[in-house]
Chain A
């Protein structure tokens, strides 16, 4: 069982927007602005898409955005494209000795 809770799957049609939630506690998501989101295509390594809740690394499309409210962080992908179909993982720094916790992952299907 993962420390952060994500929906197992979401789907959307090309051009639409989707949002993936990531729920933790006040010891991780709610307590720090160190929430990250990763995209993982099958057989590939995770790729950093969002860091510090809402910042995009250089080269990441502005169709990807992040936010946080209380103990829940969210990743929104607008203007869905076929290439966005992948697994998405959230992570957060945690005050526990575990240091960082991950969500269980969400499979995004572009219909």
Chain B
């Protein structure tokens, strides 16, 4: 059973960089069958896809966040990470990592439990 777990600071100051890591267990992140994505959800609101990475390191980002987002992968640790720079209060949200099947575009079959990140001074 694949499991994903987010980790990182729960509080980030405005203008700083938000950094989160997703640890994958029960399966290899190097599997060529999946992309690994970050998705966020502000309190009481809907879901927003942030971006994704393939085991090769190839990335795709949501154009609305592209200038501030970096997603990287560490296959030796079975982890992938998110960095979001120049954060504001609008970036306060629960951040999820999720697995997307290459064969079924845009479908996320496994999710982490989510981690709340608050942007505040």
B107 contacts the other chain (CB 8 A): yes
* Chain B residues with CB below 8 A from A64, complex form: none
* Chain B residues with CB below 8 A from A100, complex form: 49, 105-106
Interface residues on A, range: 20 to 34
B26 contacts the other chain (CB 8 A): no
A45 touches B111 (CB 8 A): yes
B96 touches A99 (CB 8 A): no
Q: How far is the CA of A102 from the CA of B108 in the complex (A)?
A: 12
What total of A-B pairs shows CB separation below 8 Å? 66
Query: B46 is contacted by which of A45, A97, A99, A103 (Cβ under 8 Å)?
Result: A103
A74 contacts the other chain (CB 8 A): no
Given contacts A46-B47, A52-B104, A104-B46, are A99 and B109 in contact (CB under 8 A)?
Answer: no
A48 touches B49 (CB 8 A): no
Smallest beta-carbon distance A102→chain B, Å:
4
- Per-residue CB proximity of B77-121 to A under 8 Å, as 1/0? 000000000000000000010000000111111011110000000
Considering only CB atoms, which chain B residue lies closest to A92 in the complex?
B106
Smallest beta-carbon distance A41→chain B, Å:
12
A98 touches B108 (CB 8 A): no
Task: Please report which residues of chain B, range 39-64, place their CB below 8 angstroms from some CB of chain A when the two chains form the complex.
Answer: 45-49, 52, 60, 62-64
Q: How far is the CA of A104 from the CA of B111 in the complex (A)?
A: 19
B107 touches A52 (CB 8 A): yes
